Amino acid sequence: MTIIAVDGPAASGKGTIARALARHYGLPCLDTGLLYRAVGLSVLKAGGDPDHEADALAACDFDAPLLDDPALRSEAVGSLASRVSVHPGVRQALVQRQRDFATQPGGAILDGRDIGTVIAPDADAKIFVTASVHVRARRRYDDALAHGGHPDMDSLIADIQARDTRDMSRDHAPLRMADGADLLDTSDLTIEAAIRQAIALVDAQLEGRR
């Protein structure tokens, strides 16, 4: 069994890297952020308050098909996910779902914000993917333009900074680099270069465990 943990803040490139690693190593991949996005969207649909733990907790029992809803990828739902994820009850409710995925026969790759610290602290390889706030905002800006949106750079920067603060300062499972993880800064890397570097880092960690 091989478990690979990929953590990092919003728009760092961790999802793209995790999917590339999954193809390279032939492992299933879970974007755990989608779970929190599904909770956030469920709260919104129910007319609840994402900052109220009881409303967020009630939304954790969502149906699996919701994970395929394109609305989960929107910036608005991403912000909701960051807000519901600060609640300890919500994080605890989703922990077992993630651990079951990680420990399936053969292993898996998971990307999120607390994979290497909470979900799979004994993962065989851990990477913490990051990039500067302005680079991450530019990625969001370009993505929104490509999908016909009319993004505002200042608003995107403010949103990313607010999400970083929430993610890093929450009491339960804050965003941080896990012990034993390798740092991968993608600020000045192309997608292809970031993937090559990620594979090299994982290969080295896996070799070190043999």
- What are the binding residues for ATP? 8-16
- Binding-site annotation: residue ranges: 8-16
Is the four-CA dihedral 54, 161, 119, 14 of positive or negative sign? positive
How far is C-alpha 15 from the chain's CA centre?
A: 7
Q: How many helices (H) and strands (E) does the chain have?
A: 8, 5
CA–CA dist 37, 82 (Å, integer): 8
Taking the C-alpha atoms of residue 130 and residue 14, their distance in angstroms, rounded to an integer, is: 8
